């Protein structure tokens, strides 16, 4: 993996190289961020793609970086989703980003891991990271503002799902009300967002109307009979 990424950096004079990955769920590797050929992006294109999950996200594990990029950037201490706080600034500093198109990294998901488990208070750091990214993009890349807001909405929807499905709602009442308030405030914008798919919008609407458990149940039945789902299978 690192041999391929290093070669891509050197051949394309890039500061960051990216590969696709295999998301390993219950022992089954599922390729993601994979395509034919090689893509070369400037900073603005790379950030725009990250904001819409177009073959790149904030995970640091499937990338190789020129060391100088980290001279004034560090992972924040005591944060969940710590990678989200630094990835956009790193892409901003990179003169060029290359994606090699093939999956090389195996990302093994564990049900009770810090990133994949149920809601905990530290997961509210996701909202903080999304807010920081939105402000950073508005300042440095105003043309990407709509994409940054879509990214923020995705984070908000994810947090709302975690909070509505946790078995300990009473322990997180303050966070639940905050996220619910923000989701309802932004619902009209979410439903009209050009970068969010229909499935995500249905989930957002069901969360805002407190009907998500019903929609998730229906989604499982759809998956059983037709092989696809409206609910979040994760």
Q: Is this model's pTM higher than 0.85 or not? A: yes
Burial-class residue 53 by CB neighbours within 10 Å (0-12, 13-18, 19+): middle
Q: Two tokens at 81? A: 């989703």
Do residue 91 and residue 161 come from a single domain? Answer: no
Q: Are residues 150 and 74 in the same domain?
A: no
Count other Cβ atoms within 10 Å, centred on residue 21. Answer: 23
Q: Are strands 97-108 and 39-41 parallel, antiparallel or unpaired?
A: antiparallel
Of 46, 81, 108, the last residue of a domain is 108
Question: Are the beta carbons of 25 and 106 closer than 8 angstroms?
Answer: no
* Number of domains the chain contains: 2
Q: Exposure string (b/e) for 105-142, b if CB count within 10 Å is 16 or more?
A: bebeeeeeeeeeeebeeebbbbbbbbeebbeebeeebe
At 231, phi and psi to the nearest 5? -90, 170
40 strand-pairing partners: 98
Looking at the fold, whether 66 and 32 belong to one and the same domain comes out as yes
Whether residues 102 and 176 fall in one domain: no
Q: Is residue 103 domain-shared with residue 125, that is, in the same domain?
A: no
Q: Which domain holds residue 162?
A: 121-224
Parallel, antiparallel or unpaired: strands 16-25 and 63-65:
antiparallel
Could you tell me if 142 and 51 lie in one domain? no
Alpha-carbon span 57 to 65, nearest angstrom: 15
Could you tell me where the DSSP H helices lie in 14-79?
43-51
pLDDT tens digits, the chain, 234 residues: what are they?
A: 999 999 999 999 999 999 999 999 888 999 999 999 999 999 999 999 999 999 999 999 999 999 999 999 999 988 888 999 999 999 999 999 999 999 999 999 876 655 556 788 889 999 999 999 999 999 999 999 999 999 999 999 999 999 988 877 788 889 999 999 999 999 999 999 999 999 999 999 999 998 887 777 776 655 656 555 444 544
């Amino acid at each position: 993996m690192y041999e391929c990424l290093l070669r891509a950096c050197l051949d394309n004079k890039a500061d960051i190289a990216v590969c696709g990955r295999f998301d390993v769920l219950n022992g089954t590797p599922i390729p993601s961020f994979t395509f034919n050929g090689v893509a070369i992006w400037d900073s603005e294109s790379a950030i725009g793609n990250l904001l819409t999950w177009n073959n790149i996200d904030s995970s640091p594990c499937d990338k190789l970086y020129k060391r100088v990029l980290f001279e004034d950037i560090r992972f924040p201490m005591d944060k969940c989703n710590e990678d989200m706080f630094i990835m956009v600034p790193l892409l901003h500093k990179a003169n060029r980003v290359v994606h090699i198109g093939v999956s090389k990294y195996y990302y093994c998901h564990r049900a009770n891991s810090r990133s994949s488990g149920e809601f905990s208070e530290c997961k509210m750091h996701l909202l903080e990271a999304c807010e920081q990214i939105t402000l950073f993009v508005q300042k440095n890349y105003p043309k990407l503002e709509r994409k940054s807001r879509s990214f923020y909405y995705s984070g908000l929807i994810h947090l709302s799902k975690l909070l509505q499905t946790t078995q300990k709602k009473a322990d997180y009442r303050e966070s639940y009300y905050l996220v619910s308030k923000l989701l309802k405030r932004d619902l009209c914008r979410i439903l009209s967002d050009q970068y969010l798919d229909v499935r995500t919008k249905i989930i957002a609407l069901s969360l805002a109307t407190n009907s998500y458990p019903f929609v998730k149940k229906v989604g499982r039945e759809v998956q059983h009979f037709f092989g696809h789902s409206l609910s979040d299978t994760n």
